[in-house]
Each structure stands twice: as structure tokens, then as C-alpha cells.
Amino acid sequence: MAEFIGVPYVEIVKAAVIPAVLYFTGIWVVVHFEAKKCGLRGLSRAELPNLWHVLKNDSYLIFPLFAIIYLLVEGFTPMRAALGGLGFCIVVSMFRKATRLNLTKLLNTLEAGARGALGVALACATAGIIVGVVTLTGVGLKMGDGLLALSGGFLIPTLIFTMITSLILGMGAPTTANYIITSTCAAPAILALGVPILAAHMFVFYFGIIADITPPVALAAFAGAALAKANPMKTGLEASKLAIAAFIIPYIFVLSPELLLINATPWGIVQTCITSIIGMIGVGAAVEGWYWTRMSWWERITILAGGLLLIVPGTMTDLIGLGLMALITLIQYYRTRTAKTVTTNSACTS
């Protein structure tokens, strides 16, 4: 990206900080509210394994990770490094009787790994066909003009169509190739509407990358489903829900480039960070339908609107967003206190 748009790499890193923080905050918030909704809790200290015992008996299991890192640093391809790591796992498993693989266990492990990789391999092959057709036929070079014609030259429809295009072009492509394809084929449509070049390239890059968790391909989700022995499509849908921030933030920083620190003041940066993080709490609560307790449909819409307004940089939007979130917070707090009082009174009566 630094080479493509002529911006120093350090500037790109700084621009990516706030969106990255919001993305991970969004995932944490959604997982937290999901756990609250399902009544899950963390392990108590008594239930946690002893740290010294784990380090003493199982610390050797981290060696394959160091082996993979070493091979990558030495210039091996990711595939060769992963293969070397697998071989090192077999060697390390021989250190203790509890993890030692005999011939039967080794064959069963190889069979399970091959079966788990089938779904990912099929998805990669299908995505490769799509990318090959787009690049070899030259249709990708015509996409910019086509997107503008389809959207009528309006910004929001153009962003939506560009998002869909980037999701399709990003399927199955490695990160660097992903960016090259999306920035060449999709970014020109946004740039033609006067969007800052860094915001436009970040927009297509974001959606090209999250193609890995977006059905119907969702390579990363399919790989996770294979490890967890879960339904691949359901895993992809759940991954998309968890990563809701990744679908919202690019629109925000195109409409308000201050989120990428473009023409932003120090106070504006601090304000944007604080209000955006609070906003992601509102968005996460709306996605899960749970805040302090279960929310009604109008509460979800209200807190979603408040969260989105807080993410959008600006004093007026922040004040309105805070007001909406404060309203729902008070309602939820009052409802929780009322429910606790009724439960306590019922217990005393009985």
C-alpha cells in the first residue's frame, strides 16, 4: 500500500491503529454479551490449572511454534514452514509418554488432518477459479467504471457495490495478492468520487481481507470449523456476526477520514478513540440483544443508532449518541434492579 499510493509506511500504520482497536473491541464486546446472555462465567482461581505445573510439564509443546517462526525468518514459504512445524510436533510428542504417538495414533492423526483439510481445499479451489476468471478475462479492469455506472455516481451505493466486489475478489487470495487485486479493480470507483486515497485503499483492503470469514467461501471460518468439527457454514455466519465491526468501520472512515487520523487534531484523536470504543459497546449490545439484561427490539435499534453515532467523529454526533446510550443504560439498569427486587421479595415471601 505504501508503494501503491505513495504514503510512508509509518503513516499507514498510524492510520490503521484506531480501526484495529475498534475491530478487536467489537469482537470482545460481542463475545462478552454472548457469554452474559448464555449465563457463562469465567473459571474461579481454584478451577484454573496451576501455572508452575503447566510450565513444568507442558512448556515443551511451544517448541513447534518457535520452529515455525524460525523457518519463516530464514526465508521458507509459509507452507514449508507449516510442514516443518508439523514434523516438529511429531518429534516433540515423543518427549513424554502421555503425548507419544505410536504408529496407529500417527496414522489416525494423519487421516483426521486430511479429512479436515478437504473442506478448506475445496473452498480454495473454488475461490481460485473465481479469481482466475476475473483476472484472466480482464473483467476486473472494467469493474471501476461498471460500479460507478451501476450506482449512478452516488457515494453510499458505490461503497456498497465496492464492498460486495471486494468480498468476491478477496476470496482465497493471500493478503498481498488480495490487496493488489482489490485496489486495482475496486478502489478506482471510490477514488472517482473524491474519497481520500488512503481511505479508499483501506476500504477495499478491509473487505478483501474479511472475505476470509464471510460465507459462502470463508476460508478462515472453514479452517476453524474443521478443527472444531463444526458446521462450516454456521461457523462462517457466526464469524461474520462476531466481526460486525469490520463491516461498519470502513464506511465510517470513508465518510469521516478523521478515524484514519487524516486532518485530525490531538484532541480530536483522543475524543474519537474514547467515543468510538463506547460506540462499539452499543453496537455489540445491539447485535447480541443483551446489555445488562435482554433488550426489546426498539432498545436494540436505539442503542445501535447511539453506537454508530459515537463511532462517527464529531461533537454533535457524539452528544446525540451518548444521549441515546445513556437512555438505554438507565432503562436496562432500572429493569435489572426491579427484577432483583421482585426476586428478593418472592424469596422472602416463600
Which residue is it, cell 467504471? Answer: 145
Is the peptide bond prior to 215 cis by the omega test (within 30 degrees of 0)?
A: no
- Cα angle 41, 45, 51 (rounded to 5 degrees) comes to 120
DSSP conformational letter for 50: P
User: What's the CA angle centered on 304, arms 301 and 310, to 5 degrees?
Assistant: 145
* Each residue's pLDDT expressed in tens, for the chain with a length of 350 residues: 888 888 888 888 888 888 888 888 888 888 888 888 888 888 787 788 777 877 777 777 888 888 888 888 888 877 788 888 888 888 888 887 777 878 888 888 888 878 777 766 776 676 667 667 766 776 666 776 777 777 777 888 888 888 888 888 777 777 777 788 788 778 888 888 888 888 889 998 998 888 888 887 777 888 888 778 888 888 888 888 888 888 888 888 888 888 888 877 778 778 878 888 888 888 888 888 888 888 888 888 998 898 888 887 778 888 898 899 899 889 888 888 777 665 544 544 44
Beta bridge mates, 294: 290
Rounded CA gap, 304 and 286, in Å? 5
Cα 331 to Cα 104, 247, 254, 318: the distances in Å are 60, 28, 33, 20
Cell of 88: 516438529
Query: Is the pTM of the predicted complex or chain greater than 0.85?
Result: no
Q: Distances from the Cα of 284 to the Cαs of 38, 113, 274, in angstroms? A: 15, 35, 16
